[in-house]
Structure 1
Amino acid sequence: MLTRLQNALVVGLLTAVLAPAVWSQTPDANAAQVTQRIGSVSVLKDNNPWALEVGDMVAVRQVIVTGVDGFAVFRLSDGSTFEVYPNSRVTFRSTPGNLRDLLDLWLGRVKVHIQKLGGQPNPNRVHTPTAVISVRGTVFDVAIEDDESTTLVAVEEGQVAVQHALLPMNQPKLVNAGETLRVYRNVPLAKSGIDKGRMVERAMRGLNEAMWVILNRAPGASGGGTGGGAPLPGDTPSTPPPPPSQPPGGPGATPPPPPPKQ
């Protein structure tokens, strides 16, 4: 009995000592913490980019921006994560009074992994200019594909419910694991078919290839350099340098005159 009581006291003391340290590392339970960063990843403060590093916190309503070589993973207090891919612009929890509105994707691509809470649904939403994606615990990708804000939704695990942001219906369209759905600006969801199987496989392969390129461009998992590797989409080829001039005495050069006779 005494040993059990002593153990309980030790646990209580450790909790009291460690809790403030843990809280200081995560000052806002509604924030997102950077757990991995590659290349250029920033948040906007007064419309100016501030570089993010591993361990930094992103607060409610902050805008995350990635460069051509930028990629980052963010972790929420409930264990859920989201990944932001190159050339993306995302607002984190744009509605402070409704924390279920997780992300607003304006440009690029994100991957979201929502953890269930004790096996129970964990409702969250991702918004784009043309779609509202509702989830309860799943893994899925969302991408903006063109200037018309066409939204691609690809589900890896679980199920998501998709509504058109501009042309809402009475019932959302359900997208299951292994399926994709494109949401077009001026086309009702009722006319948009769900693609099964191969499209998700191609989309996931494309993401993996993009990450392989980024990892080969960046010097490390949290590095900020560009390095070598294949060009990313959007890179412009540089003009090749002119050929070097012929060095004196090289092939094809005019020989120097002979020395004067003594």
Structure 2
Amino acid sequence: MSKRIFFLRNAILILLFSLPLQAADWVYTVVEGDNLWDFSAKHLDSVMRFEQLRKLNNIKNPKRLQPGSWLRVPMKWIRSNAVPARIGLLEGKVRIIRADGSAENSLKSGVLIHLGDTLNTGQNSSASVIFADNSSLTLYSDTEMRFDHLSAYGETGMVDSRVHLGQGRMETKVKPTAGPGSRFEIHTPSAITAVRGTAYRAAISPNGDSSSIEVLEGDVVVSGAEQQTLVSAGFGTQVALGKAPTEPRKLLPSPGLHELPEPLRALEWQLNWQSLDGANSYRAEISSSADFDVLQWEAVVQEPQVKLPDLADGDYWFRVRGIDEVGLEGNSAVQSLLLDRHPQPPTSLSPADGEMLDFGGVELKWQQISKVRGYLLEVAADQAFEEIVFKQETDDKTQFEVTELKQPGRYFWRVSAIAEDGEVGPSGAVRSWRLRADMESPNVIVTATEAHVVSNWQPLNSNYRYHVQLAHDADFKQLEFDQIISANEQTFDHIYSQLRYIRVCAVDEDDYHGPWSSVQKVDPLLGKSVWIVPISAIMGLLFL
């Protein structure tokens, strides 16, 4: 599309959006049985408009109208009447300040909203509003909206709705126009948006000095400082106080979502999505409705991930979108969620994770959980629990002694809570302990050659290493050598005239040290000086 055609199209659309209602006529299609008298009584401000309507449309027989023909009716003749909006769904703290100043806090679905009323949502709260033509909008957390105009043109299907967004965020779904009298406008402190069948979001900055408009479907005419801009689907604009709307900016694409298990049972599950180029942050939302009429949870995060909140079990929908550098929010990615995470599991207390234990019964302990019938204890030889070696349902006691395990090695355990109705909740954190093998002490043999002292022993296990200590004292406080080695021998240099001591113990794959071997003496080589006294004594005897 050339720039000339593009600007011409925008100019025509803006003109159509901004035409005064009184300048247009409503065109009605006649159906079988219609007559001018009944039509005037049903739709017009006075039945006496009967004759004017006949002359305007040049009708010869007002008692018998031709089905399929058209009636042209000036908008100013059509009866206008106030019609309330109503609350659809709500979540959290929502209240209405009535036009007379009274407040209603205990609201429920179906409560009527009248001209001049103000609707407020609290923190972590949201509400949907349905208008007379079934157009709807959703107010998100910490939002205020005043209803400035709520009227309909009789039973024509034309509805005139104008609201003022004072703070916060909203999203709307507007039904296509039913005639020239249909209007849906949202005013903010800095902008006016006019729509005729579209879906878009509007938000006010925290300090209230600008508005953001993001169009998801259709077209929206955005006005500011007496200047108008047409914003089409997939684009957004911002309007500062006293300034014209910025040039429409393309919204960020929807991020790719990773596949989720169904149902999702893990408590600390992290929702992830693909990082978006140009996204400074992300808005994540969860709703129990695929239409996201209200939210059960929302968050703005800096990274493409967020931890799943603690929600009641059930069906949900998750959506996420990027937020660009100027604060415009992009297109959303949506994914279904099936949560089955209750009753929540207890916290495992002992033994400590990875603790080494001797043979015998192993007492496992966990935290007490209220309102449960009991617990399911599982022990496995692998962390994935594909090789379960022990499984037991217990009563509401918080400990159990496992005595059946005889094979040394590492064991993994987890506990689930069992609800009063028998439902088994998700498994708790996986912990482990090590059942110690009955390790022997090495039988160390020390031999000496002219060059070295060699210590060796028979290997006890192919997975073992050996801790070797060589000291100058039998208490092994003056260590000369202190290392863990893989071989089953160690060689040392001779030291003249110095008695030394050596001992060795086995070390398993978990760094557990077995018992020390018996202490072996390493006899020294005699130094040359030790022969001086005996030789002198012998020589003395020879000279006597």
Question: Structure 1 length as normaliser, TM-score?
Answer: 0.61
Q: Distance in 2 between matches of 1:77 and 1:193?
A: 33
Residue of structure 2 equivalent to 1:198: 252
Instruction: Mark the runs of 5 or more structure 1 residues left unpaired by the alignment.
Output: 1-27, 222-262
Match of 2:226 among 168, 187, 198: 168
The residue identity in structure 1 corresponding to 2:85 is: A
Say whether the 8 Å CA contact 1:69–1:217 is kept in structure 2: no
Q: Which has the higher contact order (CA 8 A, sep 6+)?
A: 1
Q: Distance in 2 between matches of 1:71 and 1:220?
A: 20
Q: Distance in 2 between matches of 1:70 and 1:177?
A: 27
**1:101-116 alignment to 2 at 5 Å?**
101-116=161-176
Q: Deviations over 1:198-231 (max 9, x none)?
A: 188879x62636935259577699xxxxxxxxxx
State yes or no: 1:81 paired with 2:141.
no
Instruction: Mark the runs of 5 or more structure 2 residues left unpaired by the alignment.
Output: 1-80, 153-158, 256-278, 288-294, 299-307, 315-544
Q: Distance in 2 between matches of 1:87 and 1:96?
A: 23
Deviation at 1:147, TM superposition (A): 1.2
Q: Deviations over 1:149-203 (max 9, x none)?
A: 3100000000000111xx212xx100000101000114333xx221103188879
Residue of structure 1 equivalent to 2:297: 213
State yes or no: 1:133 paired with 2:206.
no
Say whether the 8 Å CA contact 2:87–2:129 is kept in structure 1: yes
**1:208-247 alignment to 2 at 5 Å?**
208=285, 211=295, 213=297
Residue of structure 1 equivalent to 2:105: 50
The residue identity in structure 1 corresponding to 2:233 is: A
Match of 1:40 among 58, 72, 93: 93
- CA gap 1:218/1:72 in 2 versus in 1, 3 angstroms: farther
Q: Secondary structure at the match of 2:202?
A: strand
Say whether the 8 Å CA contact 1:123–1:137 is kept in structure 2: no
Say whether the 8 Å CA contact 1:111–1:142 is kept in structure 2: yes
Q: Secondary structure at the match of 2:283?
A: helix
Say whether the 8 Å CA contact 2:93–2:121 is kept in structure 1: yes
Structure whose alpha-carbon radius of gyration is higher? 2
Residue of structure 2 equivalent to 1:179: 235
- CA gap 1:96/1:116 in 2 versus in 1, 3 angstroms: closer
Q: Secondary structure at the match of 2:297?
A: helix
The residue identity in structure 2 corresponding to 1:37 is: L
The Cα RMSD (Å) is: 3.3
Say whether the 8 Å CA contact 1:115–1:122 is kept in structure 2: no
Say whether the 8 Å CA contact 1:121–1:136 is kept in structure 2: no
Say whether the 8 Å CA contact 2:161–2:183 is kept in structure 1: no
Match of 1:30 among 83, 102, 106: 83
State yes or no: 1:157 paired with 2:217.
yes
Q: Secondary structure at the match of 1:51?
A: coil
Q: Distance in 1 between matches of 2:214 and 2:238?
A: 9
The residue identity in structure 1 corresponding to 2:174 is: I
Q: Deviations over 1:3-49 (max 9, x none)?
A: xxxxxxxxxxxxxxxxxxxxxxxxx9721122211000110132534
Say whether the 8 Å CA contact 1:32–1:58 is kept in structure 2: yes
Say whether the 8 Å CA contact 1:41–1:65 is kept in structure 2: yes
Q: Distance in 2 between matches of 1:126 and 1:161?
A: 11
Deviation at 1:54, TM superposition (A): 1.0
Question: Structure 2 length as normaliser, TM-score?
Answer: 0.31
Deviation at 1:108, TM superposition (A): 0.3
Say whether the 8 Å CA contact 2:177–2:183 is kept in structure 1: no
As a proportion of its length, which structure holds more helix?
A: 1
Residue of structure 2 equivalent to 1:146: 206
Say whether the 8 Å CA contact 1:85–1:108 is kept in structure 2: yes
Identity of aligned residues (%): 21
Q: Deviations over 1:67-111 (max 9, x none)?
A: 00211111112111111111000002x146796342100000111
Match of 1:69 among 101, 124, 127: 124
Q: Distance in 2 between matches of 1:208 and 1:121?
A: 36
As a proportion of its length, which structure holds more strand?
A: 2
- CA gap 1:55/1:218 in 2 versus in 1, 3 angstroms: farther
State yes or no: 1:188 paired with 2:272.
no
What is the number of residues matched between the two proteins?
186
- CA gap 1:149/1:47 in 2 versus in 1, 3 angstroms: farther
- CA gap 1:147/1:199 in 2 versus in 1, 3 angstroms: farther
